[in-house]
């Protein structure tokens, strides 16, 4: 039986085993998926080679790169590895977080080639900013003034990979309530336990055609609730979590899944929250 795992720091609340076991079952694969908590000192190539495939989470997405024999262009682009394929002892690092975001937005009918308002650009927000710019978005990124130096580096990264891209940094007071094709929250505002918080004004939500929130606990943040109340397509981070897992299965075993199958998995895992 093939062995797969998620490596990271604290993994007690991870939903990865439930997601991956369901995906394996859908394709009739007999596989074992475990959680492996390791410190950076314990992280090694020999540990990694004990599995056919791995997912990587905080705090090892950068440290694991030095143990790779090769990096896919996705890992090079986003500067982090969250998925590893072990093919005959050769380790290749990938980044499927971006796939999870892109697939989620496409599945809900969101438009990345138009005007996109992104709230926050640290961590997952950095990836979303680059991915959006590469797909032709006219990007506005709302940041805290204290995060400007990090945000400036993201803009420079965008300019390197997409010279024609338009990316503007603003603070909350400078965001104009104009029309946006897609509004994305990449901050923890609204996450459990502070579930009454919303990262943007009602006016901005009303002027956005679709909404994506990286948070999945709760499943319906205030942002999602308000968007859906206005009849707008809105998706949470659970979709992104499942879709990035789907991308890992493509890499590991070449497996494909229909959107109907993925919607069912999203629903099943959501009920565990």
Round to whole Å and give the CA distance between 77 and 69: 17
Rounded to the nearest 5 degrees, what angle is found at the Cα of 149, between the Cα atoms of 145 and 153? 130
Residue 21 tokens, joined:
């076991």
Round to whole Å and give the CA distance between 90 and 3: 16
Comparing CA positions, the residue from 90, 80, 73 lying closest to residue 59 is: 80
Q: Are 180 and 210 in contact (CB under 8 A)?
A: no
158-163 contacts at long range (C-beta below 8 A, 24 or more positions apart)? 158/129, 158/130, 158/133, 161/77, 161/130, 161/133, 161/134, 162/133, 162/134
Bridge partners for 166 per DSSP: 138
231 burial (CB, 10 Å; 0-12 / 13-18 / 19+) is exposed
Round to whole Å and give the CA distance between 225 and 248: 30
Q: Are 94 and 85 in contact (CB under 8 A)?
A: yes
Residues known to be catalytic:
61
């Amino acid at each position: 039986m093939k062995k797969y795992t998620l490596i990271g720091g604290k993994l007690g609340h991870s939903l990865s085993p439930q997601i991956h076991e369901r995906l394996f079952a859908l394709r009739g694969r007999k596989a074992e998926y475990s959680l492996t908590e390791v410190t950076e000192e314990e992280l090694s190539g020999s540990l990694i080679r004990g599995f056919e495939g791995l997912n990587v989470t905080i705090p090892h997405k950068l440290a694991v790169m030095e143990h790779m024999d090769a990096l896919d262009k996705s890992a090079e682009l986003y500067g982090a590895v969250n998925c590893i394929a072990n093919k005959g002892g050769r380790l290749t690092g990938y980044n499927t977080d971006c796939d999870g975001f892109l697939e989620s937005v496409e599945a809900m009918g969101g438009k990345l080639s138009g005007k996109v308002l992104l709230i926050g650009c640290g961590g997952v927000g950095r990836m979303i900013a680059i991915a959006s710019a590469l797909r032709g978005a006219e990007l506005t990124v709302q940041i805290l003034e204290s995060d400007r130096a990090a945000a400036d580096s993201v803009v420079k990264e965008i300019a390197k990979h997409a010279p024609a891209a338009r990316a503007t940094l603003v603070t909350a007071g400078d965001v104009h309530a104009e029309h946006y094709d897609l509004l994305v929250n990449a901050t923890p505002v609204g996450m459990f336990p502070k579930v009454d918080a919303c990262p943007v004004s009602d006016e901005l939500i009303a002027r956005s055609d679709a909404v994506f929130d990286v948070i999945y606990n709760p499943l319906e943040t205030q942002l999602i609730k308000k968007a859906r109340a206005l009849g707008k397509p809105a998706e949470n981070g659970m979709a992104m979590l499942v879709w990035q897992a789907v991308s890992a299965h493509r890499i590991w075993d070449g497996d494909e899944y229909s959107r109907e199958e993925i919607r069912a998995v999203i629903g099943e895992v959501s009920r565990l929250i």
